[in-house]
Amino acid sequence: MTNQTSTTNEPNRIPLHIGIDDTDSTRQGCTTYIAALLTQKLIQLGADFFDYPNLIRLNPNIPWKTRGNAALSLRVNINQNALRKAIEETLRIVERESDLSHPRTDPGIVFYQGKPVPQDIKTFARRTIQDVVKKSEALKLIKHYSAEAYGFNSGRGIIGALAAIGETLEGDHTYEFIAYRIPANIGSPRRVDDKSVLQMDVKMKGQTYNNTDPDKKRVLITPRGKDPVLLGIRGEDPQAVKIAYSMIKVNEKIERWIVFRTNQATDAHLRKIESIKEIRPYRPVIAVGSLVQEPHMIPGRHVIFTIQDNTAKIDCAAYEPTGKFRNIIRQLSIGDQIEVYGGVRPPSIRNLITINLEKIKIISLTTKTTLINPHCRVCGGRMESMGKGQGLRCKKCNNREDNAKKTATQVPRKISEGLYIPPPRAHRHLTKPFCRYGIEKTLHTSTIPRDFEGLGNPHFTT
């Protein structure tokens, strides 16, 4: 189902941005599925999409987020006489599909008519991705720009709904192809051939990312549990994710599919700060400091260390799920200069404010030395200590030297300078993986989406 004709220039066509957020709970539902249903409905009402549906990941560190903290926006041109119907249908679908009985599901929907999106709303969106914002700020903007907002329960989702409209993805962005299961299959094991996913991953390297986990040889495109999502493939452009899908053997019926444009894998949540004293809870950061405490393991197999600059100190933690990443962290030493990336946890009874590490860059390693026994001058064997203040003796020829001392020797470092990222299974949706470094998009000029959604199992001709 494709919208073939662009009729933007007709005077009775109105640009409409629809933002939705917080429709799902930890137990069921999926905001992206609601967006897919709504996309089909809008096309039936004669709307033309002037962008791919946008899947916007908001600040992953806010305490009241549901699961992936995904907000969605749909941007269409629609006839004046279909506008009210589009708004009514949106409200009807969100109300029907949301887990409204769950105490922490607080859906919000925002409608904004006009093009382009005001700078104030773009700035608000940026803050919703990197910071903590209040509902009152969203309501103020909605009033000022004559947008329409609807909230269910506490209506906190209005924040994310407005942010999804405001994040127009003009800088770096990626795409995700998502296929949804038919209702009868939800809850049963997903019938997707793992081997075909591993093969696709090799063929589509550089164009798709995080399909599999290299350490555990595990497929990552299929979620677990009762989610309506069968699989999601993330990549650089709409064509790449569709080609990747066509390489996978799917042995079950697909209800519908859609391609989203997203801020996933762009590090959009991380804000570079000048000094450690600026760090605040729930605001993800990039900060530079030098180690002042050796890394040590705490119960739960998490690794903790402390960095400092000339303004303050802060704890950093690499948690157990980051796997081998912790082996790198444990090799760090006092004096090493590093850049840390991650979310910020508030202080608890046991801990100070802590950076939850998503990646690190080692800027410079200190020279580490240790004292070792010298070689024997007679036979070249290794000398050993005879006890405190008693000189050294050769283990091999018994040569004794009363005034010999241990000598300082440089210890080879087992790590080198550079960027280190945990394995894909530990990534947040927003974490930029290795393979995206150097291919970030810097400018997005509006593209009319083509062949971006449909019903049933898709058959792409590639």
Phi, psi of 452 (to 5 degrees): -110, 0
Q: Which residue in the set 202, 292, 352, 379 belongs to the binding site for Zn ion (CB under 5 A)? A: 379
Given a contact cutoff of 8 angstroms between Cβ atoms, the answer to whether 193 and 245 are in contact is no
Measured between alpha carbons, how far is residue 29 from residues 180, 187, 390, 455 in Å?
12, 12, 74, 19
Pick the closer one to Zn ion by CB: 397 or 439. Answer: 397
Structure tokens at 3: 């919208």
Helix (H, G, I), strand (E, B) or coil at 133: coil
Instruction: Name the minimum Å distance from CB 376 to Zn ion.
Output: 3
Query: Whole-angstrom Cα distance, residue 23 to residue 2?
Result: 26
Q: Which residue in the set 117, 229, 247, 376 belongs to the binding site for Zn ion (CB under 5 A)? A: 376
Give every CB contact of residue 449 below 8 A, 6+ residues apart in sequence.
3, 49, 51, 52, 238, 259
Given a contact cutoff of 8 angstroms between Cβ atoms, the answer to whether 70 and 57 are in contact is yes
Instruction: Name the minimum Å distance from CB 410 to Zn ion.
Output: 24
Q: Which residue in the set 202, 372, 378, 439 belongs to the binding site for Zn ion (CB under 5 A)? A: 378
Given a contact cutoff of 8 angstroms between Cβ atoms, the answer to whether 248 and 191 are in contact is no
373 near Zn ion, judged by CB under 5 A: no
Structure tokens at 91: 């409200």
Instruction: Name the minimum Å distance from CB 395 to Zn ion.
Output: 8
326 DSSP assignment: H
Give every CB contact of residue 228 below 8 A, 6+ residues apart in sequence.
30, 33, 180, 181, 183, 186, 255
Binding flags for Zn ion, 103-142, as an x/- string (CB under 5 A): ----------------------------------------
Pick the closer one to Zn ion by CB: 271 or 382. Answer: 382
Binding flags for Zn ion, 381-420, as an x/- string (CB under 5 A): x------------x-xx-x---------------------
Structure tokens at 161: 């709904």
Residue whose token pair is 């919000």? 108
Query: Whole-angstrom Cα distance, residue 341 to residue 238?
Result: 29
Pick the closer one to Zn ion by CB: 141 or 376. Answer: 376
Write out the DSSP string of 274-311: S-GGG--TT--EEEEEEEEEEEEEETTTEEEEEEE-SS
Instruction: Name the minimum Å distance from CB 382 to Zn ion.
Output: 9
Instruction: Name the minimum Å distance from CB 405 to Zn ion.
Output: 17
Instruction: Name the minimum Å distance from CB 396 to Zn ion.
Output: 5
Pick the closer one to Zn ion by CB: 298 or 397. Answer: 397
Instruction: Name the minimum Å distance from CB 414 to Zn ion.
Output: 31
Structure tokens at 265: 């894998």
- The footprint of Zn ion on residues 209-268 (CB under 5 A) is none
- Between helix 135-144 and helix 119-130 the angle, nearest 10°, is 170
Pick the closer one to Zn ion by CB: 44 or 407. Answer: 407
Instruction: Name the minimum Å distance from CB 373 to Zn ion.
Output: 12
Pick the closer one to Zn ion by CB: 1 or 378. Answer: 378
Question: How many residues interact with Zn ion (rule CB under 5 A)?
Answer: 8
Binding flags for Zn ion, 276-315, as an x/- string (CB under 5 A): ----------------------------------------
Pick the closer one to Zn ion by CB: 292 or 378. Answer: 378
In this chain, which stretch among 33-41, 175-183, 273-281, 377-385 interacts with Zn ion, using CB under 5 A? 377-385
Pick the closer one to Zn ion by CB: 159 or 394. Answer: 394
Instruction: Name the minimum Å distance from CB 276 to Zn ion.
Output: 52
429-438 burial, b for 16+ CB within 10 Å, e for fewer? Answer: bbbbbebbee
Sign of CA pseudo-dihedral 340, 343, 344, 345: negative
Residue whose token pair is 């930890």? 26
Instruction: Name the minimum Å distance from CB 402 to Zn ion.
Output: 15
Pick the closer one to Zn ion by CB: 40 or 399. Answer: 399
The contact set with Zn ion (CB under 5 A) reads 376, 378-379, 381, 394, 396-397, 399
